[in-house]
Chains A and B, each alone.
Chain A
Amino acid sequence: MDAEGLEGFRDFVDNRSSALLRTAVLLSGGDRYAGEDLLQNALAKAAGRWERIDEPEAYVRQILYRQQVSRWRLKWRRRELTVAEPPETRADTDASSAAELRVVMREALSRLTARQRTVLVLRYFEDLPEADVARLLGCSVGTVRSTTHRSLARLRVLAPELAALGPADAEFRSSRDHSPVEVRP
């Protein structure tokens, strides 16, 4: 990287790293340090081809999401947990208030697989349509739809308190539903 590229890279990181880090932490299930690792890797990769990147933010974000998914492909689950039963203490908790439900939801999110969480973050935090999520992750729209469906079902297993809530829109649709999807212009 030449001096100009270096300055551009520094400017980009100074201006955008806080926003990117927020996404990275969510992708990592709320683990700040795993989020920093994830972003560090993505930025290091971007730095390697900085002068050839047209849209740095889109490029870095794509690496962030795909890194998470490829971690899943490698079955690298160092920070993920698979629990057969929901924790006992949760079942008796009267998590009626919205704040308590958010705590329960946070905990459940951290127990999803990286792929499940990535799809939910893209759909519900970045508010991306299914087609965009599919393009970003390099998979089909059907896969995004079924992963979303399964992830929501998993959240309900992990957090029985969510039973009181109405189903998400995605839960109304079958994962086998192949009806036309919205596409961004």
Chain B
Amino acid sequence: MNVDDLLRDTLREQAAEQPPAGPGFADWVLAVRRRRRTRRLVTVVAAAVAVVAVAVGVPLLDSGKSDVRPSGVVGRDRTSAHPDQSPPRELIAAGSTALAAYYIPTTVKKSATEKVTERTYWLFDRKSGTYVKAPKWSFVAVAPGMKTAAVLERTLPASRIGLLDLATGEVKRWMPVGHKVGGLSFSADGRKLVATTYTYNPDANFQPADPNVGEPEKPSSRTGFYVFDVASGKSTWGGVAVGGQRADGLNTLINNRQDFAFTSDDRYVWAGVPSEEVNKLFYDFTGAEVPAPQNGDKYLVSYIDAGLSPDGKHVAGDFAGEAWTTSSYVIDSATGEKTEIHGQELLAWADDKSLVAWDIGKGDSGAGKSEFHARLVLVTIGSDKEVPLSGFLGGSTDVSAGRWKPVFAQR
């Protein structure tokens, strides 16, 4: 065999592996074309702003609001659903968001009194169109655009942060840290990274050797956070106390893992606080507490991942369960008014009106049916329709085998 033959065979094999183009490809192309024509009309006006927007991927124009275009990626707002797959093998996506990765948590016993929840990640690989296991990483945050991820190695907390090129699977740059890091989160524009620092593994759980003794006193080891400028690798660190009973009567004690994230305008960071009265606290980049910003951020719910809608007009809220067995609140950023939407837990905004959520199946809504038999669905404000995106989670409790946790990113 010579190189000619090998080249021919390789190309033919690769071509033969391609699944056919999906149905409705023509309509998709026509829709893209319509949108581009509309956009062209406003291009001249937007040109100056677009220089910044193209680089960082900010949705700019109303005509393309479902078409966030991070760093050069051609917009695709097609829904990509695989209701027969759990965990998914192929891309799950809707509107501007995509399941960039998922992880499967497992509990590992370290000693009689300590258990650690470890994550095994599967990252979406554009080349093969599938999720590929990435066992090297203990924590992964995917940047908007799904080209880069920030990763931590197996031992937590970690003494360096990797910037992983998702196209090659190789770490482009390591950023060493003085304070060890246990959690990561990108800003909405992908230019900044907040890294939460801990002195002990934040995923460790402690149990008393004798169950009759009660909960052991073991406060979170969180020390503060770094804010990195991703391009230059420069960082600042701000220390934040773990909290406790305050003079004003509020309890700011936190969970073992209580990571920081950026506010919607990327000017501050915030972190949840389990106490219902407090719920969350905001900080400037030096670690000093600041009042809640006067936008939708003040309605953020610490354990609901979706956060603010792309246009900032709505905030994904808590479980509601009034109009339907499983539903959630969506909060109006301006008035605080709550409306109900289908979905057990709101995970990520697909556009200004739709979200990806966990929800139970139709047959599961009766009394005694499992609240854990959930799948990813697309739900829309003011609509009764739910579009299934993934197969159902396996297992009947939240710690059973067959459970996976989604990681969404702007695509």
Contact = CB atoms under 8 A, between A and B. Distances in A.
A168 B7 contact: yes
Interface residues of B, number: 37
Contact of B14 (A44, A106, A168): A106
Contact of A47 (B10, B13, B29, B74): B29
Contacts of B127: 29-32, 110
Interface in B156-190: 167-168
B11 A125 contact: yes
Contacts of A44: 29, 32-33, 36
A164 B98 CA distance: 43
Given A9-B26, A166-B1, A167-B3, A102 B21 contact: no
Interface string A120-150: 1100110000000000000000000000000
A7 B30 CA distance: 12
Contacts of A43: 25-26, 29
A18 B15 CA distance: 10
Contacts of B26: 9-10, 12-14, 17, 43
B74 A37 contact: yes
B33 A18 contact: no
Contact of B74 (A6, A21, A25, A41): A41
B contacts with A: majority SS: helix
Interface residues on A, range: 35 or more
A168 B210 CA distance: 73
Contacts of B249: none
Contacts of B10: 102, 105-106, 109
B366 interface: no
A47 B21 contact: no
Contacts, number: 126
A104 B13 CA distance: 13
A81 interface: yes
B162 to A, nearest CB: 17
A125 B12 contact: yes
A113 interface: no
A157 interface: no
B18 interface: yes
Given A32-B126, A32-B129, A78-B72, A18 B29 contact: no
Contacts of A156: 3
Contact of A48 (B1, B33, B74, B126): B33
B2 interface: yes
Interface in A44-86: 44, 47-48, 76, 78-79, 81
B168 A81 contact: yes
Contacts of A158: none
Nearest to A43: B29
- Most B CB contacts (10 A, CB to CB) among A33, A34, A78 go to A33
A-B pairs, 6 with minimum CB distance: A166-B2, A13-B26, A17-B21, A18-B20, A168-B3, A22-B15
Interface of B: 1-4, 6-16, 18, 20-21, 25-30, 32-33, 36, 71-72, 74, 76, 126-129, 167-168
Interface of A: 6, 9-10, 12-14, 17-18, 20-23, 25-26, 29-37, 39-41, 43-44, 47-48, 76, 78-79, 81, 98, 101-102, 105-106, 109-110, 120-121, 124-125, 152, 155-156, 162, 165-171
20 contacts: A10-B27, A13-B29, A14-B26, A21-B21, A22-B18, A26-B14, A31-B127, A40-B29, A41-B74, A43-B26, A44-B29, A44-B36, A98-B1, A105-B6, A106-B10, A162-B6, A165-B1, A167-B2, A167-B3, A168-B3
Given A26-B11, A170-B4, 18 more contacts: A10-B26, A25-B18, A26-B14, A32-B18, A33-B126, A37-B74, A43-B26, A47-B29, A48-B33, A79-B167, A101-B6, A105-B6, A106-B10, A109-B11, A120-B7, A155-B3, A166-B2, A168-B3
